[in-house]
Amino acid sequence: MSEIYFVPASEAHQKKEKLKARELRQSQWWKQVLGKGICYHCEQRFHPSELTMDHLMPIARGGFSDKKNCVPSCKKCNTEKGYKTRAELAMEELNKQSNPNGNETGENNE
């Protein structure tokens, strides 16, 4: 699959939102979300200490650190997601399903 291209948000925006994320992690709301122990992406159960804060719209792409944009994610899912949006993740999944051999053309190379 081709690389994702985006223009990153300004350094000032990223710095401000990362600070807000640190504050949000200390909130009672976030502690309750973590207490459920469920990864937003794979829906598997984890100990709260194994979950990280994931921004659905990444900060680097202009996302905000607020309750609407932050979800608990296991480290594996958060790493795989990276800077991608939910739409890009869905497109990758569709491509995998329609092209199980992993080649770009979708042809069967047997």
Q: Examine residue 35 and state whether it is found in any structural domain, yes or no.
A: yes
> Is the pLDDT confidence value at 103 over 90?
no
Q: Examine residue 1 and state whether it is found in any structural domain, yes or no.
A: no
Could you give the number of structural domains in the chain? 1
Q: Examine residue 87 and state whether it is found in any structural domain, yes or no.
A: yes
Domain with 83, as residue range(s), is 11-92
pLDDT in tens, 48-62: 999 999 999 999 999
Q: Examine residue 100 and state whether it is found in any structural domain, yes or no.
A: no
**Own/partner pairs for 83-91, CB < 8 Å, 24+ apart?**
83/4, 83/6, 83/58, 84/4, 84/58, 85/56, 85/57, 85/58, 85/61, 86/56, 88/4, 89/41
Q: Examine residue 103 and state whether it is found in any structural domain, yes or no.
A: no
Q: Examine residue 110 and state whether it is found in any structural domain, yes or no.
A: no
Per the CB < 8 A criterion, the answer to whether 71 and 34 are in contact is no
> Look-up: residue for tokens 């710095």?
15
Q: Examine residue 51 and state whether it is found in any structural domain, yes or no.
A: yes
> Is the pLDDT confidence value at 109 over 90?
no
Percent of the chain topping pLDDT 70: 86
> Is the pLDDT confidence value at 18 over 50?
yes
Specify the CATH number for the domain of residue 18.
1.10.30.50
Q: Tokens at residue 60, please?
A: 């680097």
pLDDT in tens, 59-102: 999 999 999 999 999 999 999 999 898 888 888 888 888 876 76
